[in-house]
Amino acid sequence: MTRASSGAAELSADNVVIGAGLSGLAAARTIVDAGGDAIVLEARDRVGGRLLNATLGDGVTVDVGGQWVGSDHARVRQLAGQLGVEVFPQFGEGKNLLDVGGRRRLYRGTIPRLGLRVLWAVFLARRRLDRLAKGVSAEQPWTAERAVELDGITLAEWCAENVGTEIARQLIGLAGRTVWGAGPDELSLLHVLFYVSSAGGFDKLIDTEGGAQQERLDGGAQLLPIGLAESLGDRVRLAAPVRRIEQRAGSVLIRADGVEVEARRAIVALPPALAGEIEFDPPLPAPRPELGRRLLPGRLSKCMALYEEPFWRADGLSGEAVTDAGPVTLTFDCSPRDGSAGVLLGFVGGPEVGELELIGEEARRAAVLSCLARLYGPRAERPLDYVEREWSAEEWSRGGPTSNFGPGGWTGCGPALREPVGRIHWAGTETATVWSGYMEGALQAGERAAQEALASDSGVG
Ligand SMILES: Cc1cc2nc3c(=O)[nH]c(=O)nc-3n(C[C@H](O)[C@H](O)[C@H](O)COP(=O)(O)OP(=O)(O)OC[C@H]3O[C@@H](n4cnc5c(N)ncnc54)[C@H](O)[C@@H]3O)c2cc1C
């Protein structure tokens, strides 16, 4: 290692990966496994990005970022197996709660007990979205028949035309606040269809059993990036936010705080809005810079309350609830695997996140706990401990769970999403074609970008 004139450490490698989230680490691992070398530059002083463990009380680990492993998240399962991290089922015994329009109903499974008209409207909407999504390729959504039309309206506009009852429209909106961290009036219909297509069906997104919320990782999801980073050793450099990427003949020069790396190729594994803040020399060609302005992080907060025991189970409740009373829209039982304590998770998603931001931490906590008490009784209002994570406030994430296009985004700049620019390749869950937005997508995208970089280097380069 030498010192650059700026005082920064100077390194060189075949490949430099920007971002030590699951995607960047998977990219680096793939390169190293293929016999190449890679340096990973991470802005934060930790790895994992949108995956983060926290501790409640005297040692209960909870996930304040991504947590569930879906039924067909094969890459996540394989990685967990390699790292010795076990998966266990999301608790789902007992009845779920639906609290909309001022009425509280109990039900089992995904389908709540609603009037026949509402049930029929929800069933039809799901079937129609699935049918439309079949015509949208997760690789190239902008090539769909009527892509411009589908990209020209929001999910809310589509629901207004196609979903028969107000409660059914509301239910779709509430589900979307957690799935995308956005209100239905913020999402392009084509984006929703892309997402459904990349997951393999609408129900996959919202179901627990057989869907994206099927299982959890014992010890917390952050164990996956931590394990990957450990396997990469000192190739991973923390507290090194990348500010500038220069492309030269035959190489790239990456300038980060405290370190400069010269490499043959760069893999940028960041949410597009954050990639858009890096200075590129020469500037990226149109429409790539547009992506940073139009593919915007969702807004999603996780609020978790710790209790002595999962007391709602004794009342025959699963801990899963959908509510329009606010600010929480969805709850889950996130107690430890052995049930030795009780943890309720409340999601606040979409525009409500911004509204809650304004009222300050204490009032926010009171509002969330009062919502939990409305659902589960007064004990819910007196937790032993409490944590909230507002991802929009995170400098190096800006939101979550993923980034979304509003109208015109996919058709306007979608083709630039994965298209390499010279020696720069793009990873990150947003660029995935399978389970985009999820850990599974982050791994797929990292592996794909690494293969791309390796193949380019073994070719003309
Ligand atoms: C609240 C929440 C709940 C979720 N729930 C689930 C779930 O249950 N199941 C699931 O599968 N997924 C879930 N997700 C999504 C999942 O967490 C993400 O899909 C995945 O972690 C994304 O990984 P990534 O590597 O693509 O991006 P990130 O995790 O965002 O990684 C990007 C990394 O780049 C770093 N970085 C940013 N800018 C720079 C820079 N200029 N220089 C250097 N480094 C930089 C960041 O610090 C970060 O570490 C959830 C996400 C959130 C926020």
Task: Indicate the Cα dihedral angle 120, 122, 127, 128, nearest 10°.
Answer: 110
Instruction: Taking residues 226-232, report their average pLDDT.
Output: 98
pLDDT at 111 over 80: no
Q: What's the pLDDT at 412?
A: 97
Binned at pLDDT 50, 70 and 90, residue 112 comes out as low
Q: Is the CB of 271 under 6 A from ligand 1?
A: yes
Percentage of the chain modeled with pLDDT above 70: 97
Q: What's the pLDDT at 355?
A: 84
pLDDT at 339 over 90: yes
**Distance, CA of 335 to CA of 46 (rounded, Å):** 25
Instruction: Taking residues 99-105, report their average pLDDT.
Output: 87
Distance 358 CA to ligand 1 centre (A): 25
Instruction: Taking residues 398-422, report their average pLDDT.
Output: 98
**3-state per-residue secondary structure call for 449-460:** HHHHHHHHHHCC
pLDDT at 453 over 50: yes
Q: Is the CB of 297 under 6 A from ligand 1?
A: no
- Side chain identity at 325, as an amino acid letter? A
Q: What's the pLDDT at 123?
A: 86
Q: Is the CB of 229 under 6 A from ligand 1?
A: no
Distance 108 CA to ligand 1 centre (A): 32
* Nearest CA residue ID for atom 14, ligand 1: 66
Binned at pLDDT 50, 70 and 90, residue 351 comes out as confident
Nearest to 241 by CA among 446, 46, 18: 18
Name the helix (H) or strand (E) containing 233.
none
**Distance, CA of 209 to CA of 414 (rounded, Å):** 32
Query: pLDDT tens digits, residue range 44-61?
Result: 999 999 999 999 999 999
Could you tell me the two tokens for 275? 């990639």
Q: Is the CB of 274 under 6 A from ligand 1?
A: yes
- Side chain identity at 456, as an amino acid letter? S
8 A C-beta contact, residue 397 and residue 418: no
Residue among 17, 41, 44, 50 whose CB has most ligand 1 atoms within 8 A, to mutate:
50
- Residue recorded with tokens 């009380």: 57
8 A C-beta contact, residue 435 and residue 441: yes
pLDDT at 109 over 80: no
pTM of the model: 0.97
Cis preceding-peptide flag for 336 (omega within 30 of 0): no
Ligand 1 atom nearest 399 alpha carbon = 53
Q: Distances in Å between the alpha carbon of 399 and those of 53, 200, 315, 350?
A: 17, 24, 35, 10
Q: Is the CB of 306 under 6 A from ligand 1?
A: no
Cis preceding-peptide flag for 420 (omega within 30 of 0): no
Query: pLDDT tens digits, residue range 234-269?
Result: 999 999 999 999 999 999 999 999 999 999 999 999
Q: Which phi and psi (to 5°) does residue 227 adopt? A: -65, -45
Mean pLDDT for all residues in the chain? 94
Query: pLDDT tens digits, residue range 7-50?
Result: 888 999 999 999 999 999 999 999 999 999 999 999 999 999 99
Strand, helix or coil for residue 253: strand
Query: pLDDT tens digits, residue range 136-185?
Result: 999 999 999 999 999 999 999 999 999 989 888 998 998 899 999 999 99
Distance 118 CA to ligand 1 centre (A): 36
Q: Is the CB of 65 under 6 A from ligand 1?
A: yes
Strand, helix or coil for residue 52: coil
Give CA 77 to chain center in angstroms. 17
Distance 238 CA to ligand 1 centre (A): 16
Instruction: Taking residues 181-193, report their average pLDDT.
Output: 97
- Residue recorded with tokens 């931590």: 226
Could you tell me the two tokens for 334? 């996130």
Could you tell me the two tokens for 106? 């109990």
* Burial label, 223 (beta-carbon count in 10 A; 0-12, 13-18, 19+): buried
Q: What's the pLDDT at 461?
A: 41
Q: Is the CB of 225 under 6 A from ligand 1?
A: no
Nearest to 196 by CA among 217, 179, 213: 179
**DSSP letter assigned to residue 283:** P
8 A C-beta contact, residue 189 and residue 151: yes
Q: Is the CB of 24 under 6 A from ligand 1?
A: yes
Ligand 1 atom nearest 277 alpha carbon = 41
Continuous H helices in 67-165: 74-83, 116-134, 147-151, 155-162
Nearest to 172 by CA among 324, 68, 287: 324
Instruction: Taking residues 121-129, report their average pLDDT.
Output: 91
Contacts of 240 (CB under 8 A, 6+ apart): 41, 42, 43, 256, 257, 258, 259
Q: What's the pLDDT at 326?
A: 87
**Distance, CA of 299 to CA of 181 (rounded, Å):** 5
Instruction: Taking residues 399-408, report their average pLDDT.
Output: 98
Instruction: Taking residues 98-116, report their average pLDDT.
Output: 78
Strand, helix or coil for residue 226: helix
Q: What's the pLDDT at 113?
A: 63
- Side chain identity at 357, as an amino acid letter? E
8 A C-beta contact, residue 425 and residue 211: no
8 A C-beta contact, residue 437 and residue 431: no
Q: Which phi and psi (to 5°) does residue 299 adopt? A: -120, 115
